[in-house]
Structure 1
Amino acid sequence: MADLSAFPITGRWPAAHPDRIQLYSLNTPNGVKASIMLEETGLPYEPHLVDITDNQSHTPEFLSLNPNGKIPAIIDPDGPGGRPMALFESGAILIYLSDKTGRFVPADPALRYETIQWVFFQNAGIGPMFGQVGYFNKFAGRAIEDKRPLQRYVDEAKRLLGVLDARLDGRAWIMGADYSIADISTLGWVRNLITFYEARDLVAFDDLRHVPAWLERGLARPAVQRGLEIPRRG
Structure 2
Amino acid sequence: MPDLSSFPITKRWPAADPSVIQLYSFPTPNGVKASIMLEETGLPYEAHKVTLADADVKSPEFLSLNPNNKIPAIIDPNGPDGAPIGLFESGAILLYLGEKTGKFIGQTASDKAHITQWLMFQMGGIGPMFGQLGFFYKFAGADIEDPRPRERYVNEAKRLLAVLEGQLAGRDWIAGEYSIADIAIAPWLRGLDFYEAREVVGWDDNKNVTAYLDRFLDRPAVQTGLVTPPRD
Q: Which category describes the TM-score, using the shorter chain as reference length?
A: over 0.9
Counterpart in 1 of 2:88?
88
The residue type paired with residue 217 of structure 1 is R
1-side partners of 2:29 and 2:217: how far apart?
Answer: 13
Counterpart in 2 of 1:42?
42
2-side partners of 1:104 and 1:23: how far apart?
Answer: 19
1-side partners of 2:208 and 2:24: how far apart?
Answer: 33
Q: SS in structure 2 opposite 1:6? A: coil
1-side partners of 2:4 and 2:22: how far apart?
Answer: 10
Counterpart in 2 of 1:190?
189
TM-score relative to the length of structure 1 = 0.97
Q: Any idea what the Cα deviations from partners look like across 1:113-147, whole Å, max 9, x if unmatched?
A: 11011001000000000001111111111111112
Counterpart in 1 of 2:8?
8
Counterpart in 1 of 2:115?
115
Number of aligned residue pairs: 232
Counterpart in 1 of 2:63?
63
Identity %: 63
Moved more, 131-140 or 27-36: 131-140
Q: SS in structure 1 opposite 2:194? A: coil
The residue type paired with residue 189 of structure 2 is V
2-side partners of 1:54 and 1:67: how far apart?
Answer: 13
Q: SS in structure 2 opposite 1:87? A: strand
Q: Any idea what the Cα deviations from partners look like across 1:8-39, whole Å, max 9, x if unmatched?
A: 00010000010010000000000000000000
2:217 to 212, 216, 219: 219
2-side partners of 1:7 and 1:25: how far apart?
Answer: 16
5 Å-filtered alignment, 1:94-109, equals 94-109=94-109
Q: SS in structure 1 opposite 2:207? A: coil
Runs of 4 or more above 4 Å deviation: none
Shift of 1:54: 4.5
Counterpart in 2 of 1:181?
180
Q: Any idea what the Cα deviations from partners look like across 1:83-137, whole Å, max 9, x if unmatched?
A: 1011000000000001101100112101101101100100000000000111111
Counterpart in 2 of 1:170?
170
Counterpart in 1 of 2:204?
206
2-side partners of 1:209 and 1:163: how far apart?
Answer: 13
Q: SS in structure 1 opposite 2:53? A: helix
Shift of 1:81: 2.4
Q: Any idea what the Cα deviations from partners look like across 1:21-65, whole Å, max 9, x if unmatched?
A: 000000000000000000001100000000113441111111100
Q: Gapped runs of 5+ residues in structure 1?
A: none
The Cα RMSD (Å) is 0.8
Shift of 1:82: 2.1
2-side partners of 1:187 and 1:230: how far apart?
Answer: 16
1-side partners of 2:25 and 2:224: how far apart?
Answer: 14
The residue type paired with residue 157 of structure 1 is A
1-side partners of 2:208 and 2:56: how far apart?
Answer: 38
1-side partners of 2:172 and 2:21: how far apart?
Answer: 31
Q: SS in structure 2 opposite 1:39? A: helix
Q: Gapped runs of 5+ residues in structure 2?
A: none
The residue type paired with residue 200 of structure 1 is R
1-side partners of 2:216 and 2:107: how far apart?
Answer: 22
